[in-house]
Chain A
Amino acid sequence: MYDFGTIYQPKTIKEAMELKVEHPKALILAGGSDILIKIREGKLAGCDLISIFMLDELRGICMEEDGTILIRPLTSFSHVTANPIIKKYLPALGDAVDQVGGPQIRNIGTIGGNICNGVTSADSAPTLKAYDAELEISSLKGTRIMNYLDFNLGFAKVDLREGEFLTGIRIKKESYLDTYGQYIKYSMRKAMDIATLGCSVNVRLSEDKKTIKRLRIAFGVAAPTPIRCFEAEKISLKRSLDQKLLDDVALACQKEVNPRTSWRASKEFRLHLIKELSQKALFESIEKAGGKVNA
């Protein structure tokens, strides 16, 4: 038996929003793989919950008319990985969320819960940031669209205001078209572990596949929130594909990040991982794009 107070079970998203206004302290429960565990540990014991898990209108992935990929927040990790649209256009995201926990956790955990939880180790976060995801945030007052890059306000703190729900994650065609990406998760165990460091890269090469047309690079656990490294992206523009490029990108990333020492790893080790993983992810992205890194 779980130790929580009242659990509200809205039948529609509108009803959920009304309940959130009536009970501002109640927590929004999606798949529960973070919240229910905190309740078990006693950290959230006695809290009230608004369960949105049964709201199927918030589930599923589709492509909009202009080619934008829309992921509804309650889509489970395993459904993201298995989805044909994701497999075809955003395989790096499918691979990233296939590294969360184990199969049972991937069946219950949701991509929306992953980002609203706001922790820096969220496996979906670096890839969504690297693809410039936009968030649709709704309340009874209306809907606003914001860039996911501005969503994380600090450690486990996100820009969800009073009565607001995440109702959609969008990735525009311009963002994913003709890009090839790679997410690398470094953790002590291959399953059921949290990332010591995560790195997501995607590249768009020039037509002759000799230079970088666009590079995106983002990290998890390299700062209090998942972050993009814009300097590293800038210096890579129009550069030819060689070891010097990998070295310069890694160095730029190391300057932009702000990792900490935790029981999982020291700051120094994380900085080393940032160098290694950014080079490896960039190398693999370039290879996937049909380019060749000249040593």
Chain B
Amino acid sequence: MPKQLITCIVNGKKRESYIDPRSSLTDYLRGEEKLNSVKHGCDVGECGACTVLINGQPFNSCIYLAIWADGKEITTLEGLSDKKGAISDIQQAFIDEGAVQCGFCTPGFIMSSIPIITSDKVFTRQEIRKQISGNFCRCTGYENIVNAIEKTAKKRKEEKQK
């Protein structure tokens, strides 16, 4: 199958690539961009391990065709680090709260939590759970994940008010 040119912004950088039109966005981000935080989990949109932000909203990259990413802005977990490569507050909170065990689901959970921690709205724990309900974790039992997100959201709001 002839390859097709796509132009998109990945983690703030403009990228141009020739891709097979049959690739999923997961295939493209892992294969071409070497962004390995994007996990190949279930590949059918059930587990959320491949979650990335497309124009700021979480999508399962496994069931998103790479050709659809043309002209869009994509953020993966790698895009959360600062220029020196230091991890972000939400990643640190996952470590501090013990929200990581095997770690396979973690990048997906963190990407799903971005709309919560960047929102002006205060999310209840129930609302946080709803926002991360498209992500599976088989280790932690979710409590510590909700704790990490709640804590980061609260901290960011306090910093904004300063």
Contact = CB atoms under 8 A, between A and B. Distances in A.
Interface of A: 1-4, 6-7, 9, 32-33, 36-37, 40-41, 51, 53-54, 78, 101-105, 107-108, 190-192
Contact of A40 (B43, B65, B70): B43
Contacts of A102: 48, 133-135
The dominant DSSP class at the A interface is loop
Given A1-B22, A104-B45, A104-B51, A192 B68 contact: no
A101 B134 contact: yes
B21 interface: yes
Contacts of B45: 33, 36-37, 101, 104-105, 108
A1 B132 CA distance: 26
B22 A3 contact: yes
Given A1-B27, A54-B68, A192-B46, A104 B59 contact: yes
27 contacts: A1-B22, A1-B23, A1-B27, A2-B22, A6-B1, A7-B22, A33-B63, A36-B45, A36-B63, A36-B65, A37-B44, A37-B45, A53-B68, A101-B45, A103-B131, A103-B132, A104-B48, A104-B59, A104-B60, A105-B134, A107-B59, A108-B59, A108-B60, A191-B130, A191-B133, A191-B134, A192-B134
Report the contact-size class of chain B (Cβ under 8 Å from the partner).
Answer: 20 to 34
Interface of B: 1, 20-24, 27, 43-46, 48, 51, 54, 57-60, 63-65, 67-68, 70, 112, 130-135
A102 B133 CA distance: 6
| Residue with the greatest number of chain B CB neighbours at <10 A, chosen from A51, A102, A105 | A102
Given A103-B131, A104-B45, A1 B20 contact: yes
Q: Which 8 A-B pairs have the closest CB atoms?
A: A102-B134, A191-B133, A104-B134, A104-B60, A2-B22, A102-B133, A37-B44, A36-B63
Contacts of A2: 22-24, 65
Contacts, number: 80
A7 B63 contact: no
Among A40, A51, A53, A190, chain B packs the most CB atoms within 10 A around the CB of A40
Nearest to B64: A108
Contacts of A7: 21-22, 65, 67
A4 B130 CA distance: 33
A51 B22 contact: no
Q: Which of B48, B65, B135 has the most CB of A within 10 A?
A: B65
A9 B67 contact: yes
Contact of B112 (A103, A105, A190): A103
A1 B58 CA distance: 21
Given A9-B21, A101-B45, A102-B48, 4 more contacts: A6-B1, A37-B63, A51-B68, A105-B134
Nearest to A41: B44
A110 to B, nearest CB: 13
B105 to A, nearest CB: 13
Contacts of B68: 51, 53-54
Contacts of B46: 192
